[in-house]
Structure 1
Amino acid sequence: MKSLRIAALSGAMCLLTAPAFSATPGDLAITWMESTYASGDNLPVTWNMWWGNNGDSWSLLDNGTVICEGTLTPNGENAQTATCTQDFAIGAHSLVAKLCLADDCSSSAATVFSVGNDNAVSDKTPWEYLDNSEWEARKAAGMREKNKPYNNTDGKRVATYFVEWGVHGRQFYPKDIPVENLTHIMYGFIPICGPNTSLTGTAKSALDQQCADKEDYQVVVHDKYAALEKNDMDATGSWDDPVKGIFAEFYRMKMTYPDVKIIPSVGGWTLSDPFYEIASNPAARATFITSIIALIDQYDFFDGIDIDWEFPGGGGANSTLGSPDDGKNFAILMQELRAALDELEIENGRTYELTAAVSGGVSKISEIDWENAIDSMDQVNVMTYDYYGTWDQTYGHQTGIYDTDTRSTLVDGSNANDVVNYLTTKGVAANKISVGVAMYGRGWTGITNGDASGPFVETATGGTPITGLEANGFWEDGIVDYQGIEENQLGGEDGQGANGFELFWDDIAKATYLWNETTGTFISFDDKRSVKAKGDFVTEKGLGGIFSWEIDSDNGTLLNAMHEGLGHTEKTQ
Structure 2
Amino acid sequence: MAVDRRTFAAAGFSTLVCGYALVQQGRTAPARRPVVAGYVAPWKARPGGPGIKMIRARELTHLMYAFGTVSADGLAELADRCLDAGACDGTAPSSPFGGNFIQLAELKRDNPQLRVLISLGGWNGSRYFSAAAVTPRSRARFAQSVIDAFFRPYPGLFDGVDVDWEFPVSGGRAGNVARPEDRGNFTLLIAEVRRKLAAFSALERREMELTIAVSAAPDKIVNLEAAALAGLVDRIHLMAYDFHAGSAFAAFNAPLFACAGDPYPDLNVDASVNALIRVGVPPAKLTLGMAFFGRAVANVPPQNGGLFQKGATASEEWGGSDGIDYRDLVARRPEKHGFRRFWSDEAQVPWLYNAERRIWISYDDPLSIARKAMYARAHALAGVMIWDLFADDGSLLAALRVPPARRSE
**Range class of TM-score, shorter chain:** 0.7 to 0.9
1:455 to 297, 302, 306: 306
For the 8 Å contact 2:247–2:314, the answer to whether it is kept is: no
Q: Does 1:311 align with 2:311?
A: no
For the 8 Å contact 2:128–2:176, the answer to whether it is kept is: no
| Match in the other structure for 1:173 | 51
1:511 to 342, 349, 352: 349
| Match in the other structure for 1:123 | none
1:255 to 99, 109, 112: 109
What amino acid maps onto 1:225 in structure 2?
A: C
| Match in the other structure for 1:117 | none
| Match in the other structure for 1:32 | none
Q: Which is higher, the Rg of structure 1 or of structure 2?
A: 1
| Match in the other structure for 1:439 | 292
For the 8 Å contact 1:531–1:565, the answer to whether it is kept is: no
Give unmatched runs, 5+ long, in structure 1: 1-151, 195-215, 232-238, 469-473, 491-496, 568-573
Q: Deviations over 1:14-65 (max 9, x none)?
A: xxxxxxxxxxxxxxxxxxxxxxxxxxxxxxxxxxxxxxxxxxxxxxxxxxxx
- Matching of residues 174-573 of structure 1 within 5 Å: 174-194=52-72, 216-229=73-86, 240-294=94-148, 295-299=150-154, 300-318=156-174, 321-389=177-245, 391-405=246-260, 407=261, 409-447=262-300, 449-451=301-303, 453-456=304-307, 460-468=309-317, 477=321, 479-490=323-334, 497-564=335-402
In 2 relative to 1, CA 329–478 (structure 1 residues): closer, same or farther, beyond 3 Å?
A: closer
Taking only aligned residues, the RMSD between alpha carbons, in angstroms, comes to 2.3
In 2 relative to 1, CA 298–241 (structure 1 residues): closer, same or farther, beyond 3 Å?
A: closer
Give SS of 1:330's match: helix
For the 8 Å contact 1:230–1:246, the answer to whether it is kept is: no
Give unmatched runs, 5+ long, in structure 2: 1-29
Q: Deviations over 1:514-560 (max 9, x none)?
A: 11111111000000111011011101211011111111111111001
- Find the aligned partners of 1:161 and 1:334 in 2 and give their Cα distance: 20
- Find the aligned partners of 1:339 and 1:485 in 2 and give their Cα distance: 43
- Find the aligned partners of 2:247 and 2:316 in 1 and give their Cα distance: 16
Q: Deviations over 1:327-354 (max 9, x none)?
A: 2111111211111111111101110111
- Find the aligned partners of 1:502 and 1:557 in 2 and give their Cα distance: 20
- Find the aligned partners of 1:175 and 1:320 in 2 and give their Cα distance: 34
What amino acid maps onto 1:456 in structure 2?
A: L
What amino acid maps onto 1:308 in structure 2?
A: D
For the 8 Å contact 2:75–2:132, the answer to whether it is kept is: no
What amino acid maps onto 2:269 in structure 1?
A: A
In 2 relative to 1, CA 565–317 (structure 1 residues): closer, same or farther, beyond 3 Å?
A: farther
- Find the aligned partners of 2:397 and 2:60 in 1 and give their Cα distance: 9
Please state how far the C-alpha of 1:164 moved relative to its aligned partner.
2.3
- Find the aligned partners of 1:221 and 1:478 in 2 and give their Cα distance: 23
- Find the aligned partners of 1:410 and 1:395 in 2 and give their Cα distance: 11
Q: Deviations over 1:481-512 (max 9, x none)?
A: 1012223245xxxxxx3311111111111111
For the 8 Å contact 1:314–1:321, the answer to whether it is kept is: no
TM-score normalised to the size of structure 1?
0.61
Higher fraction of helix: 2
What amino acid maps onto 1:193 in structure 2?
A: S
Give SS of 1:262's match: strand
What amino acid maps onto 2:180 in structure 1?
A: P
For the 8 Å contact 1:167–1:226, the answer to whether it is kept is: no
Q: Deviations over 1:406-451 (max 9, x none)?
A: x4x333531111111111112211011011111111001222x322
Bigger relative CO (Cα 8 Å, ≥ 6 apart): 2
- Find the aligned partners of 2:313 and 2:275 in 1 and give their Cα distance: 33
In 2 relative to 1, CA 228–319 (structure 1 residues): closer, same or farther, beyond 3 Å?
A: closer
In 2 relative to 1, CA 502–230 (structure 1 residues): closer, same or farther, beyond 3 Å?
A: farther
For the 8 Å contact 1:466–1:478, the answer to whether it is kept is: no
What amino acid maps onto 1:487 in structure 2?
A: A
Give SS of 1:564's match: coil
Q: Sequence identity of aligned pairs in percent?
A: 28
What amino acid maps onto 1:183 in structure 2?
A: T
Give the number of aligned pairs.
370
Please state how far the C-alpha of 1:263 moved relative to its aligned partner.
0.4
- Matching of residues 51-70 of structure 1 within 5 Å: none
- Find the aligned partners of 2:69 and 2:403 in 1 and give their Cα distance: 34
Q: Which moved more, 1:261-270 or 1:296-305?
A: 296-305
Please state how far the C-alpha of 1:362 moved relative to its aligned partner.
1.8
For the 8 Å contact 1:267–1:308, the answer to whether it is kept is: yes
